[in-house]
Amino acid sequence: MEKNVEILSREIVKPSSPTPDDKRILNLSLLDILSSPMYTGALLFYAADPQNLLGFSTEETSLKLKKSLSKTLPIFYPLAGRIIGSFVECNDEGAVFIEARVDHLLSEFLKCPVPESLELLIPVEAKSREAVTWPVLLIQANFFSCGGLVITICVSHKITDATSLAMFIRGWAESSRGLGITLIPSFTASEVFPKPLDELPSKPMDRKEEVEEMSCVTKRFVFDASKIKKLRAKASSNLVKNPTRVEAVTALFWRCVTKVSRLSSLTPRTSVLQILVNLRGKVDSLCENTIGNMLSLMILKNEEAAIERIQDVVDEIRRAKEIFSLNCKEMSKSSSRIFELLEEIGKVYGRGNEMDLWMSNSWCKLGLYDADFGWGKPVWVTGRGTSHFKNLMLLIDTKDGEGIEAWITLTEEHMSLFECDQELLESASLNPPVLI
């Protein structure tokens, strides 16, 4: 499909009103400073209205998106600025808006949405591993020949996590529908997690800085609502009688990759699961609408693959959550607790050659399927797709909100074993078509 994507235009969209002088400098929080210099992004797929045979008009739709983006940027003003070291210069430099034509049918594209094909719908700048200074925000509107539309939104990971991205998308969609933005963002993260006066912790929190880039494979596994129900029942125990969707899928992932490691290793290795956790709602001083990398890692260890049953894995996840909640209460009392957590994470990475490190990240319940810009809700939502870093799992809601899509990146050797695991395939389908 590579030759079928043509860039039509690229322009800068500036805020509709200037940023006040007292907001021109935004200090990054400690967690922002330690995050990877890369982009996080989401792709929103919209089918053409069946009553409109021509589908989306490139000119009218682009104008609507750009006007509403311009009105949204004064509320999310740092996204129109430039990142300089440990702060954002909120200079209204603007966001980049790209129009592209895709000579392909959206329905055909969604029959087999392989991760590599998604890369063609993402701005070239967002694929760079270089330090992200500007643009902070990149948009690409991809117009399919059938009238379908894919909006790709990429934001610098130095100032946003997935929750921040979802807040921006929600606000932009409301603005596009002519509504007021209902969830006003708060840019006070640096007050909760300020940059230390002395040197920074030696180990970055975001493991992407630490993980070796290598030849990896990313594949999409879908757990539909009926399979999720059975998996949750299978994973229930006396301690956790009603595991969540995410707990059940995460437990199955860890169990299956641990089995894969055991098959490909001469001796049992300690398996470490790292779960990215949203700190909003857990740290008292952190409000739900805070923009930034409000994330930490919850770490679980399976010494020499001793934890066998999926119920036992879910029990371990639930216990880890309880301990993490206590840590968050300590963070509420003293921000120094975050340094202790970072030190603990650093010790894990220091033993990376001795252990298998796996990571799970959930985008479930972020409301991305509610992104209605005025032509209805998306038929499919996904993240970036491919990854150059091994041992990652990204979980995203299915359209009905009951199932889960798992985008999993492993080494080629591990993936060849993982995708054949019968326990996995009892609950998941490998890259089924997206139904419109």
| pLDDT for the residue numbered 264 | 86
DSSP letter at 366? S
Give the separation between CA 360 and CA 251, rounded to whole angstroms: 10
Q: Is the peptide bond before 37 cis (omega within 30 degrees of 0)?
A: no
The two three-digit tokens of residue 15, written as one number? 């805020």
| Per-domain residue ranges of the chain | 5-192, 216-365+380-430
CATH code of the domain made up of 5-192: 3.30.559.10
Instruction: Establish whether domains 5-192 and 216-365+380-430 are of one fold.
Output: yes
| pLDDT for the residue numbered 93 | 97
| pLDDT for the residue numbered 205 | 47
Annotated catalytic residue, options 104, 157, 356, 414 = 157
Give the separation between CA 247 and CA 40, rounded to whole angstroms: 23
Taking residue 327's Cβ as centre, other Cβ atoms within 10 Å add up to: 19
- CA nearest neighbour of 380 among 360, 357, 405: 405
DSSP string, 388-434: SBSSEEEEEE-TTSSSEEEEEEEEHHHHHHHTT-HHHHTT-EESPPP
Task: Please compute, for residue 157, the number of CA atoms within 13 A of its CA located in the half-sphere on the CB side.
Answer: 22
| pLDDT for the residue numbered 422 | 96
Phi, psi of 297 (to 5 degrees): -110, 135
> pLDDT 10s digit of each residue in the chain, 436 long?
655 899 999 999 999 999 999 999 999 999 999 888 889 999 999 998 766 544 567 889 999 999 999 999 999 999 999 999 999 999 999 999 999 999 999 999 999 998 888 999 999 989 876 657 889 999 999 999 988 999 999 999 999 999 999 999 999 999 999 999 999 999 999 999 998 766 655 444 444 444 455 678 999 999 999 999 999 999 999 899 999 999 999 999 999 999 999 888 877 788 999 999 999 989 988 999 999 999 999 999 888 666 778 999 999 999 999 999 888 877 766 656 666 667 766 666 656 567 899 999 999 999 999 999 999 999 999 997 677 678 999 999 999 999 999 999 999 999 999 999 999 999 999 999 997 6
Question: What's this model's pTM, rounded to 2 decimal places?
Answer: 0.93
DSSP string, 224-239: -HHHHHHHHHHH--SS
Taking residue 221's Cβ as centre, other Cβ atoms within 10 Å add up to: 23
| pLDDT for the residue numbered 302 | 86
Residue 356 known to be catalytic? no
Residue 388 known to be catalytic? no
CATH architecture of 216-365+380-430: 2-Layer Sandwich (3.30)
Annotated catalytic residue, options 92, 312, 370, 372 = 372
| pLDDT for the residue numbered 31 | 92
- CA nearest neighbour of 369 among 42, 95, 3, 87: 42
